[in-house]
Amino acid sequence: MDILLLIRDIASIALLAVGVLFVLAGAIGVIRLPDFYTRIHAAGVTDTLGAELIVFALMLQAGFTLLAAKLLLVGFILFLTSPTATHAVANAAHRAGLNPLLSRHQPPHPRDTETGEKS
């Protein structure tokens, strides 16, 4: 019985770690990407895969209880509402006339700009 609990804990910790990594990557993406529409994609990683993985990890921690059923509902509602919210924000920007950046975006490496400033 103990070994099963151990496996469950390891699985849930692994899911939590991967979920947190995706949330962090999404946050870094929001800072690094160039314009509003591309930043939405980075935020999307956070609120779809990152949030779902964390909810699943918490479900494993809760075990076979009512709490797990509630968490399942939370995950389900997130799954349906987060793309709707993303679409609402993107559609609002589009209707307000914000034009997306459509050219190739390739900023120079920070190393090169730094040496440029020094010289």
Partner 1 sequence: MIYGVSLSLVLAVMWWVLSGYDKITLLAFGVISVVIAIVLVLRMRILDRETVPFLRLHTLIPYYIWLGGEMAKASMAVVKAALKPEIDITPRLVRVPVKADTDLARCVFANSITLTPGTVTVEIEEDAYLVHALDTSFTAPEGFAEMNLYAARATDGDTS
> Is 66 an interacting residue with respect to partner 1 (CB under 8 A)?
yes
Q: Which listed residue (7, 73, 77, 115) binds partner 1 by CB under 8 A?
A: 73
The least distance separating partner 1 from the CB of residue 97, rounded to whole angstroms, comes to 12
- What are the structure tokens assigned to 41, written together? 């994609």
**CA separation, residue 30 to residues 26, 37, 49, 56, 68 (Å):** 6, 10, 16, 24, 31
**CA separation, residue 26 to residues 22, 23, 29, 49 (Å):** 6, 5, 5, 10
Give the binding site for partner 1 (CB under 8 A): 22, 25-26, 28-29, 32-35, 37-38, 40-42, 44-45, 48-49, 52, 66, 69-70, 73, 79-80, 82-84, 86-87, 90-91, 94-95, 100-107, 109
